[in-house]
Amino acid sequence: MVKRIAIFGSTGSIGTQALEVIAAHADKFSAEILTAHSNHELLIEQALKFNPNCVVIGDETKYKLVKEALANTNTKVFAGEKALEEVAGLDCYDMMLAGIVGFAGLKPTLKAIESGKPIALANKETLVVAGELVMQKAIANRTPIIPVDSEHSAIFQCLIGEGRNSIEKIILTASGGPFLGRKPNYLVNVKKEHALQHPNWEMGAKISIDSATLMNKGLEMIEAKWLFNLHPDQIQVIVHPQSIIHSMVQFADGSIKSQMGLPDMKLPIQYALGFPQRIPSTFPRYDFKKPHTLTFEEPDLKTFRNLALAIEALNKGGNWPCILNAANEIAVYAFIKNRIGFLDMTTVIEDVLTKMKFIEKPTLQEYFDSDGQARAYTASLIRM
Ligand code: NAD
Ligand code: MG
């Protein structure tokens, strides 16, 4: 049986690596839906190679170009945000790889969950923004959510076979990013070119900046809370610069399980697509014969204040993580466009959090409203 995959965000770092996995295992997987925001050239190239049932180009001005390029194929072409949600409800696929970056991934993922399609979840923002609602919908529709984020994949793998055994805590490992050990007097001058250079992982721009500020780890704490139904106190972050241990679970008896391997996102992607089967791979192996040192240290919350803000949002709950996420998305794009400095990202997010209205149990509409208001206010602060 070939599993038919819908790749939302097929032109991104996660999407292109997922297509590599699919190409390497054409007997197991096919790509049936591909979506891109604006990179129509790559979307066309991918469609010609994988012959999907349909593609969606987010940017409607590119519709004609894509349509013409695929005129001699069976691939249907759609455009726009609404189409993204609509194709998520189609019957032509068996599993969604949620690889869109940011809040934009929420609606199509919710639609797939409502349609009972298992989700391989890379788009962590979906759970950061509306984790409680998303998990409730997944449970109500019996839709499995298999994490792709390497830390969460590690925890998921550690929990296999543990049934009802209780988790004392999970330990999320963080590489520390490109500025590990640096202090504010250094960070004040860093530019996007430095921040985009991650020591261990090659990723899209937004998550690379989030890794440099440690916001990524904060978002991952919130993601973990919902995925594994944990109390905030059960989630610890530890800096492990080598990125060999991808995360750990400590059980009620004190025993700790970890999942290890070389840092390569194709591994958790392939695991999520193939779950529960482990598909043989030729990915490079970790070699214990070479000298290695694995080190661990506390994150520096005084310097990397984005992580402290995310922990605050994790503890407070309600619409706070949604507001944090919206402010962060705008701040990160402003930094990438050289509109604000590295440390300004934190100042802006903090300011937005103090101004927005707290809602303890938001409805889906209230999440959308909180997101919109937080974005508008953040943009006005930055004068974008
Ligand atoms: P990316 O920027 O490389 O790719 C993003 C994809 O989403 C592209 O295909 C783009 O066309 C699409 N997209 C962007 N904005 C969109 C919009 N408004 N509407 C529709 N589509 C849109 O990002 P990435 O690094 O692949 O990350 C994707 C997601 O996976 C993020 O949520 C990220 O946090 C998560 N993730 C990534 C990695 C990694 O190694 N890259 C690791 C763990 C988790
Ligand atoms: Mg991660």
Per-residue pLDDT reduced to its tens digit, 38-97: 999 999 999 999 999 999 999 999 999 999 999 999 999 999 999 999 999 999 999 999
How confident is the prediction for the chain on average, in pLDDT? Answer: 97
State in Å: Cα 123 to ligand 1 middle.
Answer: 7
Distance in angstroms (rounded) separating the CA atoms of residues 246 and 157: 11
Q: No. of H helices and E strands in the chain?
A: 16, 11
Reported confidence tier of residue 18, pLDDT bands at 50, 70, 90: very high
Ligand 1 atom at minimal distance to the Cα of residue 219: 34
Distance in angstroms (rounded) separating the CA atoms of residues 323 and 343: 19
DSSP structure string for 9-76: TTTSHHHHHHHHHHHHTTTTEEEEEEEESS-HHHHHHHHHHH--SEEEESSGGGHHHHHHHTTTSS-E
Question: Mean per-residue pLDDT for 234-245?
Answer: 98
Pocket mutation for ligand 1, best pick of 14, 38, 43, 271 (most atoms within 8 Å of C-beta)? 14
Question: Mean per-residue pLDDT for 232-237?
Answer: 98
Question: Mean per-residue pLDDT for 94-106?
Answer: 97
State in Å: Cα 72 to ligand 2 middle.
Answer: 40
Domain boundaries, the chain: 3-147, 152-316
Per-residue pLDDT reduced to its tens digit, 262-280: 999 999 999 999 999 999 9
Q: pLDDT at residue 384 above 80?
A: no
Could you give the 3-state DSSP secondary structure of residue 260? strand
Pocket mutation for ligand 1, best pick of 96, 207, 214 (most atoms within 8 Å of C-beta)? 207
Q: Tell me the backbone φ, ψ of residue 331, rounded to 5 degrees.
A: -65, -40
Question: Mean per-residue pLDDT for 299-303?
Answer: 98
Ligand 1 atom at minimal distance to the Cα of residue 38: 11
Per-residue pLDDT reduced to its tens digit, 337-351: 999 999 999 999 999
Ligand 1 atom at minimal distance to the Cα of residue 202: 40
- The closest alpha carbon to 210, from 345, 109, 355, belongs to 345
State in Å: Cα 14 to ligand 1 middle.
Answer: 7
- Pairing mode of beta strands 54-57, 76-79: parallel
Confidence (pLDDT) at 383: 85
Residue 157, ligand 1, Cβ within 6 A: no
The tokens describing 3, both together, are 């599993």
User: Which ligand lies nearest the alpha carbon of 172?
Assistant: 2
CB atoms within 10 A of CB 144: 15
Pocket mutation for ligand 1, best pick of 10, 82, 100, 150 (most atoms within 8 Å of C-beta)? 100
Per-residue pLDDT reduced to its tens digit, 307-324: 999 999 999 999 999 999
User: Which ligand lies nearest the alpha carbon of 198?
Assistant: 1
Reported confidence tier of residue 102, pLDDT bands at 50, 70, 90: very high
Ligand 1 atom at minimal distance to the Cα of residue 126: 32
| Ligand 1 atom 23 nearest Cα | 204
| Ligand 1 atom 39 nearest Cα | 203
Q: Check: CB of residue 210 under 8 Å from CB of residue 105.
A: no
Amino acid found at 135: M
Confidence (pLDDT) at 73: 98
Helix, strand and coil in the chain, % to nearest 5: 45, 15, 40
Amino acid found at 245: I
- Provide the CATH topology of domain 3-147: Rossmann fold (3.40.50)
| Ligand 1 atom 2 nearest Cα | 204
Residue 127, ligand 1, Cβ within 6 A: no
State in Å: Cα 106 to ligand 1 middle.
Answer: 12
Q: Which residue has the tokens 């792709």?
A: 148
* Type and span of the H or E element at 259: strand 256-260
Residue 241, ligand 1, Cβ within 6 A: no
Distance in angstroms (rounded) separating the CA atoms of residues 147 and 346: 28
Percent of residues, the chain, with pLDDT higher than 90? 97
Residue 99, ligand 1, Cβ within 6 A: yes
Confidence (pLDDT) at 198: 82
Per-residue pLDDT reduced to its tens digit, 153-204: 999 999 999 998 999 999 999 999 999 999 999 999 999 999 998 888 889 9
Q: How far is CA 354 from the centre of its chain?
A: 26
Reported confidence tier of residue 291, pLDDT bands at 50, 70, 90: confident
Confidence (pLDDT) at 214: 98
